[in-house]
Structure 1
Amino acid sequence: MSTINSVAISGNLVDNAVLRSTKNGTMVLNFTVAVTERVKGADGAFAERPSYIDCAVFGRRADALSRYLTKGTLAMVQGHLRQLTYTDRQGQRRSKVEVMVEEIDWRTRRQGDAATAA
């Protein structure tokens, strides 16, 4: 049986994207997208509950996108999920799931400009 690993999210960047280089020189752009869902409370009123989704772009696109992905940017992201396991500064083993970006569309609030990167 084959598996499906596909994700599509839309939300605003919570901070400016961070560009870095791996040990072997590959460029990586990391950013977090806030997505919300409407949740009905015990009193019957609806409220929005945010989730913060980490995303990563690799290679030449990472460098090109770093200029455009700033705090507040609306991003529509498609990709697949990847689980990372690492050791934090206190020596504790941690893991997290992030979206490996394959396609991204974005729109800045200030300029109203729209752009696409495949």
Structure 2
Amino acid sequence: MAINLFIVTAHLGKDCEQRWTPNGKAVASFSIPVKQGYGDHEKTSWVICKMFGPKAEKLPEYLTKGTKVTVTGEFVMEEWTSQNGERKSAPVIIVDKIEFGGNGGNQAGSQQPARQPQQSQQQAPQNEPPMDWDDQEIPF
């Protein structure tokens, strides 16, 4: 048995779009960039993310171009035939969870972007030296 779980944090490439299936089910879709490689060999691929049902109903008001999100879901390759008969495919994430702000935000079930609490940030104790890692000391 294989596990198909895709998790990525990125900024939306355009505003979320919403449509409705003939039976009245909401479908929200948006695109995110996924980078691979590095330096001169870096390449950006755009992945379509789709969320269905009640979770997708209010997403468009919160997911606008540039919004940082972390999505978790199943990776699939959607395939279709274009109007001129050409076979096409695109990578798609069927979103199970979405967090706003990229780390620790609210999940889509609440439909609200994460808000930072208005509390003072704790400072690190002054008697501890700052962490300074040498690449040779990292075990991986």
Instruction: Give the alignment's TM-score, normalised by structure 1.
Output: 0.79
Structure 1: which amino acid aligns with 2:49?
C
The 5 Å alignment of 1:92-107 reads: 92-107=86-101
Instruction: Quote the residue 1:116 is aligned against.
Output: 107
- 1:33–1:75: 8 Å Cα contact kept in structure 2? no
Instruction: Quote the residue 1:80 is aligned against.
Output: 74
Aligned pairs, number: 107
More helix by share: 2
More strand by share: 1
1:48 Cα deviation after fit = 5.1
1:37 Cα deviation after fit = 4.2
Deviation string 1:11-53 (CA, Å, 9 cap, x unpaired) is 1100001000123321100100123345133xxxxx7532211
Q: Give structure 2 stretches of 5+ with no counterpart.
A: 110-140
Higher Rg: 2
Q: What CA distance in whole angstroms lies between the structure 2 residues aligned with 1:49 and 1:93?
A: 24
Cα RMSD (Å): 2.0
Structure 1: which amino acid aligns with 2:10?
G
Instruction: Quote the residue 2:60 is aligned against.
Output: 66
Q: Percent identity?
A: 30
Q: What CA distance in whole angstroms lies between the structure 1 residues aligned with 2:87 and 2:3?
A: 27
Is residue 23 of structure 2 the alignment partner of residue 32 of structure 1?
no
Q: Give structure 1 stretches of 5+ with no counterpart.
A: 42-46, 109-113
Q: What CA distance in whole angstroms lies between the structure 2 residues aligned with 1:26 and 1:3?
A: 29
Structure 1: which amino acid aligns with 2:9?
S
1:64 Cα deviation after fit = 1.5
